[in-house]
Amino acid sequence: MEIYIHIPFCEKKCNYCDFLSGPADPKVRQLYVNALVNEIRERAAKIGRGEKVTTIYFGGGTPSILETEQTGAILATLFEEFDVTDDAEITIEVNPKSAGGKLQFLRGVGFNRVSIGMQSAHAEELELLGRIHTHDDFLKCFWGAREAGFNNISVDIMTAIPGQTEEMLAETVNTVLRLSPEHISAYSLMIEKGTPFYERFGETEGPVVGEETERRLYWMTVDMLKSHGYRHYEISNFAKPDFESRHNMGYWKREHYLGMGLGASSCMPEDGAEVRSRNTTSIEAYLKDPLAREESSILTRDEMIEETVYLGLRMMDGVDTDDFQKKFGVTLRSLYGDTIDDLSAQGLVYEGSSSLSLTDMGIDYGNHVFAQFLR
């Protein structure tokens, strides 16, 4: 199983962000850490030590906003309460501004992978996005992580930023390539409701820069990263050999995961069924009862099949059709033969001897393809 820990605090919410996060004073953050430690202990008592934990991921928000002793207490509790494998991938997301002198400590207490939110090498783009860090902050953070002993670093960059040109994006990508991180995530900017960007750009259909430009920037990024030895292993993710995000791969392959913290989602076996649940999204409710759930439902066989297909198609290796048959007792073709034939004829999917995957055109029309497998 995998574990996700949600830290919902930031110094300032970015203009594009619709994640469950926001500012909070030090007192609230400490109360939250106390509640989170309690949740970890109580969830562990309910689950037992049957499944080995292969990945731990601290996401947010901004996990690096916490004091080092707070982060250390959370991770130490996880080690105490769960059977974490010796080779577990343990990731923390950091903002270049708040990571500061914490990286040496984080490496020392057990984190072995760090994900740094760079987004852009350009001051004007960082300001537009509402980021609190500068490019110099990012560089100091990256080299600080290397000096602290992190040999598995992921860098996030953003494409399709309003006003972004090919030359600007190329400079950002080349800046990252010169640093040679083990992993790079490249996300196209999406305008989400409830964000400052929605108020500013919400009436625009599709990407602010236009569909054609967004796709051109995306494929330019893909080509640049692949030409420098990065494997394009998922729609938005690239890695050097053997440095794919094991945690995210677990999501796409539908491994069991336990989410803890405000609004965190889980998919775990309970009483012989597979249950999808979500913690409360109210900070007041969470501080009173860290086991409070906002949603909980038993997944049907059809839902598990649908998820296996559309999540699997996000990976460049696609859906393993042999594994699919072992899991569900039927072939993928027996359920979706006509759909596969139609999508193949349109040039959107490729059917191999033991896999079904997206073509390059299929990546461009991914949401359309995924929808065809929903009953």
Q: What is the pLDDT of residues 19-30, one digit of tens each?
A: 888 888 999 999
Q: What is the rounded end-to-end Cα distance, in angstroms, of the chain?
A: 28
What is the C-alpha radius of gyration for the chain, rounded to an integer number of angstroms?
A: 21
Mean pLDDT estimate for the chain: 95
Mean pLDDT of 79-101: 95
Q: What is the spatial distance between Cα 84 and Cα 90, in angstroms, rounded to a whole number?
A: 10
Q: How confident is the model at residue 171, as a pLDDT?
A: 98
Angle at CA of residue 323, ends 273 and 225, nearest 5°:
110
- pTM score of the predicted model: 0.95
pLDDT beyond 70 at 205: no
CATH entry 3.40.50.2300 includes domain 301-375: no
pLDDT beyond 90 at 345: yes
pLDDT beyond 80 at 50: no
Do residues 234 and 13 make contact, with C-beta atoms less than 8 angstroms apart? Answer: no
In the chain, what are the domain boundaries?
2-250, 301-375
Query: Angle, to 10 degrees, between the axis of helix 332-345 and the axis of helix 301-312?
Result: 40
The full DSSP string for 303-342 is HHHHHHHHHHTTBTT-EEHHHHHHHHSS-HHHHHHHHHHH
68 CB neighbour count, 10 Å cutoff: 16
pLDDT beyond 70 at 291: yes
Do residues 332 and 356 make contact, with C-beta atoms less than 8 angstroms apart? Answer: yes
Count, residues in the chain: 375
User: 206-259: per-residue pLDDT in tens?
Assistant: 688 889 999 999 999 999 999 999 999 999 999 999 999 999 999 999 999 999
Q: What is the spatial distance between Cα 192 and Cα 190, in angstroms, rounded to a whole number?
A: 6
DSSP state for residue 163 in the 8-state scheme: T
Do residues 315 and 308 make contact, with C-beta atoms less than 8 angstroms apart? Answer: no
Chain position carrying tokens 């959107």: 348
Q: Coil, strand or helix: which one is 27? A: helix
CA torsion through residues 334, 338, 339, 341, sign: positive
Do residues 145 and 103 make contact, with C-beta atoms less than 8 angstroms apart? Answer: yes
User: 111-151: per-residue pLDDT in tens?
Assistant: 999 999 999 999 999 999 999 999 999 999 999 999 999 99
Q: How confident is the model at residue 244, as a pLDDT?
A: 98
User: Which CATH code for domain 2-250?
Assistant: 3.20.20.70
Q: How confident is the model at residue 312, as a pLDDT?
A: 97
Q: How confident is the model at residue 19, as a pLDDT?
A: 84
Chain centroid to CA 241? 19
Could you tell me the maximum CA-CA distance found in the chain, to the nearest angstrom?
Answer: 59
Do residues 71 and 58 make contact, with C-beta atoms less than 8 angstroms apart? Answer: yes
Q: How confident is the model at residue 190, as a pLDDT?
A: 87
Mean pLDDT of 341-366: 97
| Burial category of 288 from C-beta neighbours within 10 Å (exposed 0-12, middle 13-18, buried 19 and up) | exposed
Mean pLDDT of 31-46: 97
Q: How confident is the model at residue 127, as a pLDDT?
A: 95
Nearest alpha carbon to residue 5 among 297, 296, 243, 290: 290
User: pLDDT confidence of 13, banded at 50, 70, 90?
Assistant: confident
Q: What is the spatial distance between Cα 372 and Cα 375, in angstroms, rounded to a whole number?
A: 8
Do residues 374 and 306 make contact, with C-beta atoms less than 8 angstroms apart? Answer: yes
Q: How confident is the model at residue 111, as a pLDDT?
A: 98
281 vs 51, more confident: 281
Strands 84-94 and 113-119: parallel
Mean pLDDT of 254-272: 95
pLDDT beyond 90 at 204: no
Mean pLDDT of 297-322: 97
pLDDT beyond 80 at 203: no
Do residues 22 and 62 make contact, with C-beta atoms less than 8 angstroms apart? Answer: no
Q: What is the spatial distance between Cα 269 and Cα 288, in angstroms, rounded to a whole number?
A: 26
Percent of the chain with pLDDT over 70: 99
Strand ranges of the sheet holding 273-279, from the earlier edge strand across to the other edge: 231-234, 237-239, 183-188, 153-159, 113-119, 84-94, 53-60, 2-7, 257-260, 265-270, 273-279, 293-298
